[in-house]
């Protein structure tokens, strides 16, 4: 793990993203499939009778270490990532909305959607450990480690096939209230998790090498499946097996309210949704999920403890497991071949206000239901955003202003020209200051009748 190729690739390929997919366009008053993915009740509010999504691509990530100026400074990114003492958090989230179709018929809304998801996260990593492994150069001859949280390195890829239905419960001249649901069939592809909880010990610099010892036992989970069982250090490891077999079900439920301003327009629209209620099971020939007790003490064979230099060329979690187990540092508690992983259940709330003709402003809030520290949990971010927009019909432009729990506030820009859209949730702040997030998305959909 000395060369964290994946981190470097992700930071350059999709520098510091915010994990708010299709921000701005997904809450547009030009309602389409992207709105329905955020809230299935929106399928009853489609702007046209038919919409076909050809493609939608969004790459999102965020971090609390690397700023925009760091990418152009010529410095070593690994050194910057593990600088200081605060835990390192880096999130990458890629999403592809594939061929999809939505239909509005007799006030009913129907949709069939496809999605692919790729995620890689570093969660609350102690920078002293990362620095010792990657640079073999601790800041002091003796560094005390005392963590009462779970440090995770998690990667996953999976596909979705969604079936949605929506209908107004109340619909009159002035008001409408709609409900909708989406059933998702899940196709888990690859997964890896390294979760080290409650590490208390010391890192010592002896003879140019870094050694780790523990003062008390720590809990360790190592899980892997699919392509990530063999390697997790390159971007292609996450994309070559996104879709696996059908091994999971999830659901979305949502509601929308409109204070109408004519038959097809509104003064205010508000929505509430709970998404990703469900889980999936990873099954593969090389599957494993094992819980261990980690205890590292000096002995005759290893008088200084665990030499962290052993992890320099590691490319998969099975190798990490073998190193620790073969040196007598692991005690197995429990293990299973097939294992279940929970989707990131999200609660979202938003409201879109008409300021004057053609001008709107949207407020959006997203909150995760479960903690990211759980080893069987796919991660998500808490997000708040405000998006002013101008919609001229064929052309629309918007300026999303968002805040998330890791990298703070960002300002972006996006536009729609007919069915084509292009945007970023943080391009403005990335170019004007040393922001630690950015994002990029684009796509094309065709609506008619």
Residue 168, pLDDT > 80, answer yes
The answer to whether 200 touches 218, Cβ cutoff 8 Å, is: yes
Q: Identify the pLDDT of residue 254.
A: 97
Q: Identify the pLDDT of residue 243.
A: 72
What are the strands, taking DSSP E only, across 73-134? 88-97, 100-105, 108-125
Give the pLDDT mean for 262-280: 94
Helix, strand, coil percentages, rounded to 5, for the chain: 15, 55, 30
Q: Identify the pLDDT of residue 4.
A: 45
Q: Count the residues in the chain.
A: 449
Both tokens assigned to 129: 């450990």
Residue 15, pLDDT > 60, answer no
Lowest average pLDDT, out of 108-122, 134-148, 366-380, 403-417, goes to 134-148
Q: Identify the pLDDT of residue 11.
A: 39
Residue 236, pLDDT > 70, answer no
Mean pLDDT, all residues of the chain: 85
Under DSSP, the state recorded for 386 is E
Which of 356, 419, 422 has the alpha carbon at shortest distance from 389? 356
Q: How far apart are CA 54 and CA 7, in angstroms?
A: 30
Residue 109, pLDDT > 90, answer yes
More reliable by pLDDT, 238 or 128: 128
pLDDT over 70, % of the chain:
87
Lowest average pLDDT, out of 74-78, 125-129, 159-163, 362-366, goes to 74-78
Which of 420, 423, 430 has the alpha carbon at shortest distance from 399? 423
Which of 429, 399, 428 has the alpha carbon at shortest distance from 414? 399
Distance, CA of 432 to chain centre: 25
Residue 303's CB: how many other CB atoms inside 10 A?
A: 9
Question: DSSP characters for 191-244?
Answer: EEEEEEES-EEEEEEETTEEEEEEEE-EEEEEEEEGGGGT--SSTHHHHTT---
Give the pLDDT mean for 151-168: 94
Q: How far apart are CA 386 and CA 48, in angstroms?
A: 26
Continuous segment of H or E residues that includes residue 146:
strand 142-146
Give the pLDDT mean for 12-28: 63
Residue 2, pLDDT > 50, answer no
Cα dihedral 8/218/313/286 (nearest 10) = -90
Convert the pLDDT of each residue in 272-311 to its tens digit: 999 999 999 998 877 889 999 999 998 888 888 998 888 8
Residue 241, pLDDT > 70, answer no
Q: Identify the pLDDT of residue 74.
A: 54
Question: Of 80-89, 314-323, 341-350, 425-434, which one has max mean pLDDT?
Answer: 341-350
pLDDT confidence tier of residue 116, bands split at 50, 70 and 90: very high
Residue 278's CB: how many other CB atoms inside 10 A?
A: 16
Question: Of 158-167, 206-215, 222-231, 240-249, which one has max mean pLDDT?
Answer: 158-167
The answer to whether 64 touches 125, Cβ cutoff 8 Å, is: no
Q: How far apart are CA 295 and CA 153, in angstroms?
A: 20
Q: Identify the pLDDT of residue 207.
A: 79
Residue 164's CB: how many other CB atoms inside 10 A?
A: 26
pLDDT confidence tier of residue 45, bands split at 50, 70 and 90: very high
Both tokens assigned to 384: 């708040």
**Tokens 């779970």 -> residue:** 150
Q: Identify the pLDDT of residue 137.
A: 55
Residue 266, pLDDT > 50, answer yes
Which of 215, 232, 204 has the alpha carbon at shortest distance from 308? 204
430 SS3 class: helix
- Cα distances from 157 to residues 96, 189, 227, 413, in angstroms, run 11, 5, 10, 28
Convert the pLDDT of each residue in 389-446 to its tens digit: 999 999 999 999 988 877 778 888 999 999 999 998 888 877 776 667 768 899 999 9
Which of 52, 85, 90 has the alpha carbon at shortest distance from 372? 90
Exposed / middle / buried, residue 415 (Cβ in 10 Å: 0-12, 13-18, 19+): middle
Q: How far apart are CA 69 and CA 81, in angstroms?
A: 14
Residue 142, pLDDT > 50, answer yes
The answer to whether 414 touches 439, Cβ cutoff 8 Å, is: no
More reliable by pLDDT, 234 or 254: 254
Residue 27's CB: how many other CB atoms inside 10 A?
A: 28
Question: DSSP characters for 299-357?
Answer: -SS-TT-EEGGGGTT--SHHHHHHHHHHTT-EEEEEEESSEEEE---EEEEEEEEEEET
The answer to whether 361 touches 400, Cβ cutoff 8 Å, is: no
Q: Identify the pLDDT of residue 233.
A: 55
Half-sphere exposure of 297 (CA within 13 A, CB side): 6
Half-sphere exposure of 338 (CA within 13 A, CB side): 8
The answer to whether 440 touches 58, Cβ cutoff 8 Å, is: yes
Q: How far apart are CA 425 and CA 439, in angstroms?
A: 6
Residue 22, pLDDT > 90, answer no
Q: How far apart are CA 372 and CA 377, in angstroms?
A: 6
């Amino acid at each position: 793990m000395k060369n964290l190729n994946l981190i470097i690739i992700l930071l350059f390929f999709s520098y510091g993203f915010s994990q708010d997919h299709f921000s701005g366009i997904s809450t547009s008053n030009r309602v389409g499939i992207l709105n329905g993915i955020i809230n299935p009740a929106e399928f009853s509010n489609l702007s046209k009778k038919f919409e076909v999504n050809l493609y939608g691509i969004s790459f999102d990530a965020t971090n609390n270490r690397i700023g925009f100026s760091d990418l152009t400074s010529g410095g070593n990114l690994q050194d910057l990532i593990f600088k200081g003492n605060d835990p390192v958090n880096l999130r990458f989230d890629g999403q592809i909305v594939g061929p999809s179709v939505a239909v509005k018929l007799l006030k009913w809304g129907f949709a069939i959607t496809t999605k692919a998801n790729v995620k890689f996260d570093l969660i609350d990593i102690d920078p002293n450990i990362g620095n010792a492994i990657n640079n073999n150069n601790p800041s002091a001859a003796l560094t005390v480690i005392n963590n009462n949280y779970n440090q995770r390195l998690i990667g996953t890829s999976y596909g979705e096939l969604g079936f949605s239905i929506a209908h107004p419960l109340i619909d009159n001249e002035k008001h409408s209230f709609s409900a909708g649901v989406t059933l998702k069939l899940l196709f888990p592809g690859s997964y890896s998790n390294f979760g080290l909880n409650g590490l208390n010990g010391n890192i010592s610099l002896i003879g140019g090498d870094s050694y780790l010892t523990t003062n008390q036992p720590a809990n360790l989970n190592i899980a892997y499946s699919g392509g990530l069982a063999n390697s997790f250090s390159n971007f292609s490891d996450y994309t070559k097996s996104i879709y696996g077999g059908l091994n999971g079900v999830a659901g979305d439920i949502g509601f929308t309210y409109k204070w109408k301003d004519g038959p097809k327009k509104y003064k205010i629209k508000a929505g509430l949704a709970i998404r990703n209620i469900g889980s999936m099971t990873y099954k593969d020939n090389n599957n494993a999920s094992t819980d261990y007790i980690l205890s590292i003490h000096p002995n005759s064979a290893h008088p200084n403890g665990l030499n962290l230099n052993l992890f320099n060329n590691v490319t998969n979690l099975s190798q990490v497991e073998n190193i620790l187990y073969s040196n007598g540092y692991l005690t197995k508690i429990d293990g299973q071949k097939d294992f279940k992983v929970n989707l990131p259940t999200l609660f979202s709330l938003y409201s879109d206000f008409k300021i004057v003709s053609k001008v709107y402003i949207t407020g959006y809030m997203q909150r995760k239901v479960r903690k990211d520290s759980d080893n069987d949990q796919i991660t998500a971010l808490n997000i708040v955003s405000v998006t002013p927009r101008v919609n001229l019909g064929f052309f629309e432009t918007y300026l999303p202003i968002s805040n998330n729990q890791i990298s703070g506030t960002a300002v972006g820009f996006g536009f729609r020209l007919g069915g084509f859209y292009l945007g970023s949730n943080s391009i403005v702040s990335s170019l004007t200051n040393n922001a630690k997030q950015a994002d990029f998305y684009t796509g094309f959909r065709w609506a008619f009748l």
